[in-house]
Structure formats: C-alpha cells, structure tokens
Amino acid sequence: MKKKTQKKPILSKSQKTYPRPSWVPDSILSEKELCPDCFKVVGERSRYNVVCILGKEKDGLTVTEITKKLSLTQPTISHHLNALQSVDAVTVTKNGTERIFKLNREAHCFEECKIPY
Ligand SMILES: [Zn+2]
C-alpha cells in the first residue's frame, strides 16, 4: 500500500523526519516533525533533560555537576553529551582535567528548528 506524500516545507537537508516526543513543549516549535539531528537531541527524555539543564547555565557544567542534578550515572551522562556533541548542540572547553559543557545556542537545533531549552 502506498502512502500519499504530503508537500511540506523541508526542515533541513534530509527529508526524513521524526514525530516530536511528548516531553518537548510544542508551543515554540512550528513543526510537529523533527529533523534527524533534532531527534537525536531530544529523542531520549533524559538527553533532553541534559539540554534543559545546560540551557539554564550560561557558564556551562562539568559531567559531575550534571550527574548531581540528574539521577543518572556518569557514563550515561557522558553518552548523552557525546551524542549532543555529534550534532553540535553542545560545546566543550577544557579546564585543567575538567571538561566544561555548554549549550551551543547557535546550533541548528535551537536556532533553526527552535527546540526550546
Ligand atoms: Zn532540526
């Protein structure tokens, strides 16, 4: 059975979109569908929680600080941060042995697709 394809403005280079997860507020998002990059950022609830926490901290946070704020293990947080880094949603600065993570507000997901944080 063939589905009728709807003509819709395309969000980004890829045509594949994903439904917006229920935990992402949709008041700001004009589209109900997310591009693959944005889905990678918010597709897991705890990953989106990391985004929201970093969104409130202008000076950034270390993995340890994020771990304290969320009831997740450090490896899980690191895994989420790696995924966020892979789509440029966070930036990392080295401070001695510590790494400070900051939300990249200019990232495509926040600037173009308007994911709220
Ligand atoms: Zn997007």
Question: pLDDT tens digits, residue range 51-76?
Answer: 999 999 999 999 999 999 999 999 99
Residues 17 and 34: beta-carbon distance below 8 Å? yes
The domain ranges of the chain are: 18-111
Long-range contacts formed by 74-78: CB under 8 A, 24+ apart? 76/46, 77/50
The CATH number given to 18-111 is: 1.10.10.10
Q: How far is the CA of 113 from the centre of ligand 1 (A)?
A: 5
**What is the rounded average pLDDT for all residues in the chain?**
88
Other Cβ atoms within 10 Å of 83 Cβ, number = 17
Q: Retrieve residue 5's tokens.
A: 């394809």
What integer pLDDT is reported at residue 13 of this predicted model? 55
Q: How far is the CA of 86 from the centre of ligand 1 (A)?
A: 14
Under 8 Å CB-to-CB from 61, ≥6 apart: which residues?
53, 54, 69, 100, 101
- Stated pTM of the model: 0.83
Q: How far is the CA of 77 from the centre of ligand 1 (A)?
A: 22
